[in-house]
Chain A
């Protein structure tokens, strides 16, 4: 019996239905369960275990696969891949003019570029394969229009979120150095991190000694330890990091947070049910416009029958591709015509070099330090800022040890000379990568394709996406800063390919930070959800996750989406106590 039904006349299957079990969905369920014994159903499209045995299995799978740089490597043998579309196949290059796009999950019509960010359809979501970086947004990130005359403003500001940032850092277990980041561009911190920052790598120490405090243009460079949801000491029943150099695609030890942390806690709660292998196909509203029905297919069930479940509150936490697709398929929440629009990623590039002396990468975390100094300034009226990370993983996605060996073999270097030269070069590999901000643009969008994915007979997302001059400006600035920093380090740049070419073409990588598409705003005419993540059009339909972001900023999105989710959950809880209906203190 629902506790909700004790107080109200409607009969529902659950008090809350949450669609998606990634960090936003898992946090929503967990936090709600701490408020009251709500009956909660989590529906998840993926189907995998969340125990340590599953982690060992993923680790073992990775050991047997050649391309370990692939963020999806451990997950390639999941049974779900037969039935659930594989978004990791999204990164199809744009074909030559007149040629069709490769058959991938993302569909395109006319688009300036492809959308390259993928995600994992797993119980626990994409947190299985993230680096754990948890920088906060800056105050100006919430006031971009007001501060610099571009983009949008959020209906909330940094101060509204600060308490929730603290709570999110506690929930995820974020290590960091308070004194390095308190007050960064006005971002005050009311509490210290739950754990001290990660120990610097040997390479970080050498790099920091050469560039910290130096000037690049007008900017004084500060090398700081990145706040990371990765334990620097035992925390929350999980061990300290063992430095497997493998945060992506998988933390073998669970020292790094992933959403299974909360899902495993929830598994002990008899009022919370997780149904995996269940793909939601439709949300339906009642006569009052309240979204109370959730239709889904369980692809493990013979014939994949459709099941309908009901609740007075529905929370969509299915990421910034699947959430708008589901809303559009359901014809919901779109009176503003903003559902699916303002799709954003962090457009990223990296420059690789050889350090003067061995710095021994591939020992410890993939990255520990960053340079936050370039994230904000008056330049943001013209071009994006950027956040720069210092790698400890050689050349990252630009080149593995295999590439060095391949290059040497290409020059007919064999025998003792091969070993000597390979060792000489690999131990000096270093990269700087920089992520730029995208502005929310209505024409970068997710729509529903007329092409149907054969597995579940559901439409694919139709994507239109392009990189604008604002981001290109940030990429160029990041490239120039990288070159200057390598000069300060006395490192030899090995690949100085500028991201923006003279003919205007752009070389870029995805940061796989999918944001926007159901953005937050005060005005129902140009935004999808209000400051609580509640749809303007449907008082009982909430959206959590980075889809609600009104701006992308330059910070990795997970901590901010977690903080916003915790804030939304407070409102969901308040609303549940009022029959699932919107209320005001006056009423």
Chain B
């Protein structure tokens, strides 16, 4: 799990994945996303992990990862899935397709806070909040 979280942090840039409280929802998200990666994208995920283990001590592990000759193909597809899960709680999307499968934590997608919005369909705000700059 720690390795998955570290890889996720590297790919997404989400610093908050550095320390995930085992009792927090992010811990359950991580467990589910890890399971989905193993179940749905096993070969690519394994290939990605193998590259990651080789580059994790490099001075710029992200650059080393995405420039590794083995990254193109299944490993890259797995990397995209991890990003989409954390940011949107979605996965899927074969070549050229947007993610369209639910990963179970839509309201917890990290993209919404980044863009200063709420998850679509779940505002929890009162009338007129949209008139002000967030």
A residues near B, CB below 8 A? 59, 62-68, 199-202, 205, 232-233, 240-246, 250, 252, 360-365, 392, 400-403, 405-406, 409, 412, 414-420, 422-423, 426-427
In-complex Cβ contact of A68 among B10, B117, B121 (8 A): B121
Q: Which residues of B contact A426 (CB under 8 A)?
A: 111, 114-115
B37 at interface, CB cutoff 8 A: no
Whole-angstrom CA separation of A419 from B99 in the bound complex:
17
Contact flag A241-B117 (CB < 8 Å), given A65-B102, A401-B111, A406-B98: no
Query: For residue B117, which residues in chain A have a CB less than 8 angstroms away from its CB?
Result: 245, 360-363
- A250, A364, A422: residue with the most chain B Cβ atoms closer than 10 Å: A364
Given A59-B121, A66-B101, A362-B120, answer yes or no on A200-B13 (Cβ-Cβ < 8 Å): no
Chain B residue with the shortest CB-CB distance to A251: B121
**In the complex, how many angstroms separate the beta carbon of B112 from the nearest chain A beta carbon?**
8
Specify the chain B residue showing the minimal Cβ separation from A68: B120
* Complex contacts, A252 vs chain B, CB 8 Å: 121-122
User: Quick check: B83 and A405 within 8 Å, CB to CB?
Assistant: yes
For A414, what are the chain B residues with a Cβ–Cβ distance below 8 Å?
A: 10-13, 62, 65-66, 79, 83
- Contact in complex: B90, A402 (CB < 8 Å): yes
**Residues 85-115 of chain B: 1 if any A CB is under 8 Å from the residue's CB, otherwise 0?**
0011010110000111110101100011011
In the complex, which of the residues B83, B98, B107 contacts A63, with contact meaning CB atoms closer than 8 Å? B107
Residues in A with CB closer than 8 Å to B12 are 414-415, 418-419
On whether the beta carbons of A409 and B88 are closer than 8 Å, the reply is no
Q: Which of B28-36, B49-57, B125-133 contacts A (4 or more CB under 8 A)?
A: B125-133
B22 CB-CB contact with A under 8 Å: no
Contact B13 A201 (CB under 8 A): no
B66 x A412 contact (CB < 8 A): yes
Q: Contact between A415 and B62 (Cβ–Cβ < 8 Å)?
A: yes
Given A243-B123, A243-B129, A405-B83, CB of A66 within 8 Å of CB of B13: no
CB within 8 Å for A364 and B121 given contacts A64-B102, A417-B13: no
Chain B residues in 8 Å Cβ range of A417: 13
Bound CA span A250–B121, Å: 8
CB-based nearest A residue for B97? A406
A62 to B102, CA, bound (A): 10
13 examples of A-B residue contacts, CB within 8 angstroms: A64-B102, A66-B102, A243-B129, A244-B122, A246-B120, A246-B121, A363-B123, A363-B130, A414-B79, A417-B13, A418-B12, A422-B111, A422-B115
Question: Which residues from B are CB-within-8-Å of A419?
Answer: 12-14, 114
- Of chain B, the residue at the smallest CB distance from A201 is B130
Residue A418 contacts which of B13, B115, B120 (CB distance < 8 angstroms)?
B13
Q: A240-B127, A415-B62 are in contact. List 14 more A-B contacts (CB 8 A).
A: A64-B106, A66-B92, A68-B121, A200-B131, A202-B132, A242-B124, A243-B128, A244-B122, A361-B117, A363-B123, A392-B130, A402-B84, A419-B13, A426-B115
Task: State the CA gap A558–B118 with chains docked (Å).
Answer: 29
CB <8 Å contact, A360 and B13: no
Question: In the bound complex, how far is the Cα of B90 from the Cα of A64, in angstroms?
Answer: 10
Judge whether B123 and A242 touch: CB under 8 Å.
Answer: yes
Given A67-B100, A415-B62: A232 and B127 interface contact (C-beta under 8 Å):
yes
User: Does the CB pair B130–A423 fall under 8 Å?
Assistant: no
In the complex the two chains form, is B130's CB within 8 Å of A244's CB?
no
Determine how close the nearest CB of chain A comes to the CB of B115; give it in whole angstroms: 5
**In the complex, what residues of B have CB within 8 A of residue A409's CB?**
79-80, 83
Contact of B114 among A250, A363, A406, A423 (CB under 8 A): A423
Does A242 lie within 8 Å of B93, measured CB to CB? no
A199 in complex: contacting residue of B13, B100, B130, CB < 8 Å: B130
| 8 closest cross-chain pairs (CB), A and B | A364-B130, A240-B127, A416-B13, A362-B117, A246-B121, A199-B128, A415-B13, A66-B100
Q: Are A415 and B88 in contact (CB under 8 A)?
A: no
Is B134 an interface residue when CB atoms closer than 8 A count as contact? yes
Q: A406 touching B111 by the CB < 8 A rule? A: no
CB of B54 to closest CB in A, whole Å: 17
**Most B C-beta atoms less than 10 A away, residue of A65, A243, A403, A415:** A415
- Name A241's contact: one of B90, B93, B112, B127 (CB within 8 Å): B127
Residues in A with CB closer than 8 Å to B92 are: 66
CB nearest to B130 among chain A residues: A364
| B131 neighbours in A (Cβ, 8 Å) | 199-202, 205, 364
- In the bound complex, residues from chain A placing their C-beta under 8 Å from that of B127 are 199, 232-233, 240-243
Residue with the highest number of chain B CB atoms closer than 10 Å, among A252, A401, A416, A417: A401
- Assess the A402–B116 pair: CB atoms within 8 A: no
